[in-house]
A and B are shown apart, each in its own frame.
Chain A
Amino acid sequence: MLNSVTTVLLSAWFSAAALPADPRLGAVKARMQVVVDEAERERLPVELLLSKMREGLAKRVPPPLIAAAVERLVVALREARTLAQTRSAHPPSARLLQAIAEARLAHVAEEPLRRVLAARGNEAIHQLAIESLADLKLRGCEPETAIPVVEALMVKDPRSLSLLPSLIQSLRQDFALTSAEATFSVETSLKSERSLQSAAVRARSDNAAGGKGAAHTDGLNDDGANRGRGVQSNPGKGKANGRGKP
């Protein structure tokens, strides 16, 4: 009897996820422990919640707001699991759940997410596509508008999905386009190109020819590499030390 009680107590002790040991969490720690325990029972990825707490602490977020954010994340993760089940009967990975949950927290509607999850592709591609939709939303581009481009990229050049938001933003800035115009420009270019890189070149070329804005000729090569680094051709302290090293 004693052994079984000990076993139960020990297993409960070891299975409980440990909250960050930061005194700033003091006021909300009990509330957070309840949320985490519930998530653990529901087999949600608890590490995401703990990481969110650490993130809030690192960003100096007040503890009540951290608690609220963690609670919102739990709700979003539940919703994400339901959405992910439309994709496959297999349990989704924590990263896919995280991507869906964060997209929902970024106010991406369910419908675009369903369309992405219903499209052909493995879990990693779905995750990238959903992250891109959320990124586009944060940059002021409606996911509903961008869905055709995202779907096309999932087939043609899935590795470049993560670059789509920055491309659309740079087109908007360089050619004074609306987000819908920039998205349409990429969508049109992608119909005749096989990669996002070449579609970007075509979109830039088309927009420059249309005279809508200043031509951006070297954007694709502008990797900003290593400026400010190099070897001084002649190291010298340059101080008035009078110490001759002729």
Chain B
Amino acid sequence: MSRLFLICALVAPLYGAAASANGATEVNATISASTGHDSNALLEVSPAGTQARARGWFLGAEADLTLHLRRQGWSVLAEYSGDGRQAPTFGAIVWHAIDLSAQWRQGTTRFDVAVVVQQLFTSRYQEDNWVGAGLRLGTSIAPADRWRLRLDLGTQLREGSIATQFFSNTAASLRWQPSAAAAVGLNAQGAWLTPSLLNTQPIWQRYRCGPFGTVAWHSFIFAAAPFLGTRLLDHQAVGQIGAQAQVEHLLRWGFQLRAGIDLTKEFGETSAGRTDRLEASLAVAWSSTSPKPRLWEAPVDPATDIAPRIIGGRLRFRVRAPHALKVEGVGSFDDWGAGITLRHGESGVDDVWEGWIVNPACGPLRYRFIVDGVAQTPAQAPRYVADGFGGVDGQIDISVASCPPDEKTSPDVSPRPTSSF
């Protein structure tokens, strides 16, 4: 707990300084709790590759705090993660990480350089506890509308050894309704340890593929991802079959509630045996900017669609502003009040800023974007209206079908749900 206060004490002045600087800043926090059952999991705990067996029920908790400062053409992200797990077989394992990264973009490619400091504490294997520092290089390429490739490579020095990890994720998606999407993805990750220069030991590798889909309904988003894969451990492989599912509820004031379940069943024989896993988690997340449905990860690049869309009872705004520092959305949704702050790069395209309005009221909704303090007419608005100040507002009609249930009425005639010809 004292560590959390320490982190908060460090982050608060940083946030204050960043918020006063000429750039966009956002803070996100997530607290989650989980429980589950491992039949025979292996946990790598030491530089020498000491592996602890985990069996039976476990309890876990995780906290994440991020501070994102964005400047023209690049951004800086500071993240703290704390993860604790308690199980009778291996005692307590607590892991802390501070990740400081810088990102910039070149065409359709985004680059990411990060410095990572981590600490692992175990109550039962204290001789193997370690503190490490490392470097991570990542890139994300989105050359086409429907697929994106992401690759991260990291290396880390830990008290006499080098750990290397890779991670890649490729996905191609398909959408067929405003509130539903499906995709197929391939995911690979693994890690090696190098106790000495001439000795590299693969610890584990994992490859998975499968479809994943989402459906949005009012302020809920349901997501599921069955998968088929393989896990390699000491050059022996076992097959994996499983599924992940998540439901997310967007609350007020930037809060989100998420519940998830993760089930993995292994088949095949190895000397290390098989591991079946069942895990359930519950998380509360908060964001300082406009609430946005956040799934496990957006798999594709929505390169061109910047029209406002009603998705699952929420209204999504997008605007292309490649060199902007701050983009806000103002409109009749809050009677031209404070508006919302759009977030950069959330759509998967760095040029595009995105913001969401939860449960917009039925009827015509007018809006305008404020890009770095200057009002701009939205592109691809379904309708346009002169604003009387010499400018033009965008307008979208929130149809009866899209309204929250308690606002449904039966007008004499209501415009058709927004569509693009």
Contacts and interface: CB of A to CB of B under 8 A. Distances in A.
Interface of A: 51-52, 54-61, 65-66, 69, 72-73, 102, 105-106, 122-125, 128, 131, 134-135, 138-139, 158-163, 165-167, 170-171, 200, 219-220, 222-246
A18 B420 CA distance: 40
B118 A241 contact: yes
Nearest to A61: B389
Given A236-B167, A246-B42, A219 B421 contact: yes
Contact of B332 (A51, A66, A124, A230): A51
A227 B145 contact: yes
Chain B: interface secondary structure? Answer: strand
13 contacts: A54-B337, A55-B336, A223-B177, A224-B309, A230-B214, A231-B224, A231-B244, A233-B210, A240-B136, A240-B164, A241-B156, A242-B132, A243-B95
Q: Considering residues A51, A54, A245, which has the most beta carbons from chain B within 10 angstroms of its beta carbon?
A: A245
Contacts of A131: 383, 385
A58 B339 contact: yes
- Which 8 residue pairs of A and B lie closest in terms of their CB atoms, listed nearest first? A240-B154, A238-B167, A244-B44, A246-B204, A224-B305, A234-B187, A227-B302, A242-B163
B355 interface: no
Given A65-B389, A227-B305, 13 more contacts: A66-B389, A138-B392, A166-B420, A170-B420, A226-B214, A227-B145, A228-B298, A228-B301, A231-B224, A236-B187, A238-B189, A240-B153, A241-B95
B141 to A, nearest CB: 15
A51 B336 contact: yes
B411 A124 contact: yes
Contact of B412 (A122, A163, A233): A122
A231 B419 contact: no
A122 B411 CA distance: 11
B378 interface: no
A231 B392 contact: no
B28 interface: no
A246 B307 CA distance: 42
B169 interface: yes
A149 B311 CA distance: 31
Contact of A242 (B114, B191, B211): B191
A59 B136 contact: no
B244 A240 contact: no
A41 B414 CA distance: 32
Contacts of B191: 242, 244
Contact of B231 (A51, A239, A240, A246): A246
B209 interface: yes
Contacts of B375: 59-61
Contacts of A73: 388
Given A52-B388, A233-B210, A225 B311 contact: yes
A90 B229 CA distance: 70
Interface string B405-421: 00000011111100111
A124 B120 CA distance: 66
A128 B391 CA distance: 21
B299 A232 contact: yes
Contact of B302 (A55, A56, A160, A228): A228
Interface of B: 41-44, 51, 81, 95, 97, 99, 114, 116, 118, 120, 132, 134-136, 138, 145-146, 150, 152-156, 158, 163-165, 167, 169, 171, 173, 175-187, 189, 191, 193, 203-204, 206, 208-214, 216, 223-225, 227, 229, 231, 233, 244, 246, 275, 293, 295-302, 304-305, 307, 309, 311, 330, 332, 335-337, 339, 347-348, 368, 370, 373-375, 382-392, 397, 411-416, 419-421
A88 to B, nearest CB: 14
Given A225-B311, A242-B132, A163 B419 contact: yes
B57 to A, nearest CB: 17
A225 B312 CA distance: 11
Q: Considering residues B177, B231, B295, which has the most beta carbons from chain A within 10 angstroms of its beta carbon?
A: B295
A241 B97 contact: yes
A54 B331 CA distance: 10
Contacts of B244: 231, 235
Contacts of B154: 238-241
Contact of B383 (A59, A65, A162): A162
A56 B300 contact: no
Contacts of B305: 224, 227
Contacts of A65: 389-390
Given A166-B382, A224-B305, A229 B389 contact: no
Contact of A226 (B132, B175, B185, B414): B175
Given A128-B415, A226-B181, A242 B158 contact: yes
Q: Considering residues B150, B181, B214, which has the most beta carbons from chain A within 10 angstroms of its beta carbon?
A: B181
Contacts of B227: 233-234
B206 A246 contact: yes
A226 B180 contact: yes
A13 to B, nearest CB: 23
B420 A224 contact: yes
B225 A231 contact: yes
B391 A230 contact: no
Contact of B296 (A226, A231, A244): A231
